[in-house]
C-alpha cells in the first residue's frame, strides 16, 4: 500500500421508478413522488488502489443483488468489486427492493402476488444497472483532489427508541407501553456527526458524505420520497447558492431515531439541524492530497437464531398482536431455509483513506456495535455505515435479544443469532488494524 496523489470523482443519477410499485414499508401502490430518489457514487483512486462508496435511496439491498451490482461495476470500469460499499438511505417510501421481505409484504397486502413480484424484480434489475452506471460515471470524472474529515456532536437530535420497563422487559417507544412501566432507555446513542469532505484541484468541495446514527423513517404513505437525503441536499443547495453532491451514509441506528420523526415538522427539524451542521463545519475539514487508499472485504458465516420453537410468540402477542400470524409465517420460512443452510452468509467491507476509515456493515446494526468499532479502531476517524451490501435484518445486542420487543423478533429477515453482532464487530476491528498496519 502506497500513498500517492488522490483522484476523486462523483456521480448522481436520479431514479424514476414507475408508479404502481409496492413501497418497501408504506402503501401497497405508489401513486406519486414527494421527493426525488437518487443513486450517488464517490470513487477515490490514487493510482495504486481504488474504492467506491455508493448511496442508494432504498430500504435496503439483498446480498445477491449487491454482489451483482458490484461485479458489473468492476467489469465496466475496473473499480474492484470487493472495494465497493453500497449503503442504503433506508427511506421507507422507495420501491420495494428486498425479496427477503416478501413474507412481510404478502401478509400485510392481500393483493401481493406474482405480478407485484415481477414488477419488483424488474425494478431491482434496473437499479443494479444504475448502481454500476453511477460507479462508472464517477470513475470517468476522476480529477486531482484531497480528502479530510471533520467531526462534531449532535446529542439532542436522536434518541434510543427501546425502553426498559420495571420488570426488565423492553418496549420499542412507539408501542403501547403499559402505564407506570417505562423508566429508562435500554441503550446509548452515538452523537458523533462525521463529514467527509472531498475537494478538487481548485480547493473547492466536489462532494461531501455525512454519517450519523439517525433512522430515515419519516414518511409511510403512497408517495416516493428520499426524505432526509433529498431534503438535506436541497437545503444545502439553497444556503450555499450552488450544488455540491451530498452523500448520506446512515450510522448504526437499528435502535435510534430522530426526535420528532413521527410528528408534523419532524423532517423539517432534522433537515435544518443537519444542513446547519454541514454549513458550519465543512470549511474546517483539513483535506490532504496525498493518501494511502486500501480496502478489505470479509465474507462472514454467522450462526442463525434458534427457530426450533416460536420463542417470541407471547412477546409479540402482548406488545404487537397484529403480528401474531405474520411472526408464525416467518418462523416457518426461517426453519425451512435453515434446514438448507445452517449459517447466514453476509459481508463487510472496510476502507482506508489516509488516517481515516469507513466501514460498511450489513443489516440494521444496533448503535452499540458502531460505538464498539469506533472505540477499538486505530484510525483518527472511523465512519460506520449500515444497510451496506446486504440486508440482514435487525442485529441486536445480547441484552435486546433477551429482552424482546420489535427489533428482537424473528421478522423482517432478522435471523442472525445472539452473538452475530459481536462477531461482526470483531472482524471489522481486525480488518481496520490490518489496514492501519499495512
| 4: exposed, middle or buried (Cβ count in 10 Å: 0-12, 13-18, 19+) | middle
Distance of alpha carbon 279 from alpha carbon 433, whole angstroms: 33
**How many C-beta atoms lie closer than 10 Å to residue 184's C-beta?**
11
Please check the confidence at residue 168 and state whether its pLDDT lies above 80: no
Residue showing cell 448504526: 252
CA dihedral of residues 169, 175, 179, 184 (deg, nearest 10): 50
3-state secondary structure of 324: helix
Q: Which three cell numbers stand for residue 385?
A: 455505515
Q: How many helices (H) and strands (E) does the chain have?
A: 10, 22
pLDDT in tens, 134-155: 999 999 999 999 999 999 999 9
pLDDT in tens, 307-354: 888 888 999 999 999 999 999 999 999 999 988 988 999 999 999 999
- With beta carbons less than 8 A apart as the criterion, state whether 389 and 347 touch: yes
Q: Residue 208 — pLDDT band, cuts 50, 70, 90?
A: very high
Distance of alpha carbon 106 from alpha carbon 299, whole angstroms: 30
CA dihedral of residues 137, 390, 372, 351 (deg, nearest 10): -30
Question: What are the distances in angstroms from CA 45 to CA 2, 5, 83?
Answer: 12, 8, 11
Q: Residue 182 — pLDDT band, cuts 50, 70, 90?
A: confident
Distance of alpha carbon 348 from alpha carbon 388, whole angstroms: 8
User: Own/partner pairs for 181-185, CB < 8 Å, 24+ apart?
Assistant: 185/159, 185/160
Task: Return the exposure string of 32-54: e unless at least 16 CB atoms fall within 10 Å of the residue's CB, then b.
Answer: ebbbbbbbbbbbbbbeebbbbbb
Q: Residue 410 — pLDDT band, cuts 50, 70, 90?
A: confident
Model pLDDT, residue 308: 85
Q: Which three cell numbers stand for residue 73?
A: 461495476
Mean confidence (pLDDT) of the chain: 95
Model-wide pTM > 0.95: yes
Distance of alpha carbon 66 from alpha carbon 389, whole angstroms: 5
Closest CA to 236 of 201, 194, 266, 281: 281
Please check the confidence at residue 246 and state whether its pLDDT lies above 90: yes
pLDDT in tens, 348-400: 999 999 999 999 999 999 999 999 999 999 999 999 999 999 999 999 999 99
Distance of alpha carbon 434 from alpha carbon 387, whole angstroms: 23
3-state secondary structure of 380: coil
| 73: exposed, middle or buried (Cβ count in 10 Å: 0-12, 13-18, 19+) | buried
Q: Give the DSSP per-residue string, 154-168.
A: -TTSEEE-EEEETTS
- Secondary structure letter of residue 21 according to DSSP: P
- With beta carbons less than 8 A apart as the criterion, state whether 408 and 394 touch: yes
- The neighbouring-strand residues paired with 416 are 304
Distance of alpha carbon 326 from alpha carbon 401, whole angstroms: 19
Q: Residue 411 — pLDDT band, cuts 50, 70, 90?
A: confident
- The neighbouring-strand residues paired with 299 are 347
Q: Residue 178 — pLDDT band, cuts 50, 70, 90?
A: confident
Amino acid at each position: 500500500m502506497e500513498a500517492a496523489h488522490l483522484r476523486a470523482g462523483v456521480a448522481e443519477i436520479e431514479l424514476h421508478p414507475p408508479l404502481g410499485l409496492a413501497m418497501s414499508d408504506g402503501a401497497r401502490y405508489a401513486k406519486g413522488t414527494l421527493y426525488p430518489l437518487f443513486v450517488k457514487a464517490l470513487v477515490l483512486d490514487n493510482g495504486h488502489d481504488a474504492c467506491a462508496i455508493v448511496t442508494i435511496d432504498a430500504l435496503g439491498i439483498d446480498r445477491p443483488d449487491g454482489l451483482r451490482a458490484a461485479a458489473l461495476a468492476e467489469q465496466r470500469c475496473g473499480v474492484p468489486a470487493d472495494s465497493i460499499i453500497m449503503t442504503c438511505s433506508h427511506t421507507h417510501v422507495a420501491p420495494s427492493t428486498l425479496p427477503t421481505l416478501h413474507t412481510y409484504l404478502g401478509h400485510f397486502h392481500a393483493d401481493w402476488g406474482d405480478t407485484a413480484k415481477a414488477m419488483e424484480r424488474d425494478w431491482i434489475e434496473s437499479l443494479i444497472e444504475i448502481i454500476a452506471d453511477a460507479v462508472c460515471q464517477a470513475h470517468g470524472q476522476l480529477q486531482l483532489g484531497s480528502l479530510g474529515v471533520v467531526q462534531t456532536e449532535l446529542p439532542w437530535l436522536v434518541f434510543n427508541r427501546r425502553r426498559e420497563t420495571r420488570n426488565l422487559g423492553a418496549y420499542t417507544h412507539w408501542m403501547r407501553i403499559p402505564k407506570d412501566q417505562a423508566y429508562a432507555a435500554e441503550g446509548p446513542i452515538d452523537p458523533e456527526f462525521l463529514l467527509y469532505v472531498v475537494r478538487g484541484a481548485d480547493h473547492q468541495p466536489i462532494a461531501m458524505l455525512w454519517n450519523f446514527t439517525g433512522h430515515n423513517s419519516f414518511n409511510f404513505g403512497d408517495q416516493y420520497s428520499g426524505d432526509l437525503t433529498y431534503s438535506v441536499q436541497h437545503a444545502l443547495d439553497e444556503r450555499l447558492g450552488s450544488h455540491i453532491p451530498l452523500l448520506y451514509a446512515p450510522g448504526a441506528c437499528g435502535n435510534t431515531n430522530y426526535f420528532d420523526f413521527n410528528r408534523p415538522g419532524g423532517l423539517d427539524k432534522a433537515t435544518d439541524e443537519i444542513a446547519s451542521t454541514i454549513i458550519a463545519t465543512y470549511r474546517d475539514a483539513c483535506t490532504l492530497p496525498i493518501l494511502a487508499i486500501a480496502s478489505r472485504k470479509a465474507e462472514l458465516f454467522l450462526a442463525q437464531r434458534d427457530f426450533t420453537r416460536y420463542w417470541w410468540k407471547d412477546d409479540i402477542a402482548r406488545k404487537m398482536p397484529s403480528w401474531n400470524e405474520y411472526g408464525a409465517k416467518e418462523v416457518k420460512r426461517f426453519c425451512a431455509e435453515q434446514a438448507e443452510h445452517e449459517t447466514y452468509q453476509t459481508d463487510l467491507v472496510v476502507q482506508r483513506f489516509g488516517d481515516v476509515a469507513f466501514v460498511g456493515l450489513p443489516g440494521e446494526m444496533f448503535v452499540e456495535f458502531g460505538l464498539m468499532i469506533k472505540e477499538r479502531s486505530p484510525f483518527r476517524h472511523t465512519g460506520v455505515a449500515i444497510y451496506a451490501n446486504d440486508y440482514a435484518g435487525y442485529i441486536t445486542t445480547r441484552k435486546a435479544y433477551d429482552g424482546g420487543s420489535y427489533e428482537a423478533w424473528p421478522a423482517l429477515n432478522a435471523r442472525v443469532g445472539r452473538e452475530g453482532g459481536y462477531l461482526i464487530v470483531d472482524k471489522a476491528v481486525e480488518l481496520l488494524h490490518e489496514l492501519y498496519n499495512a
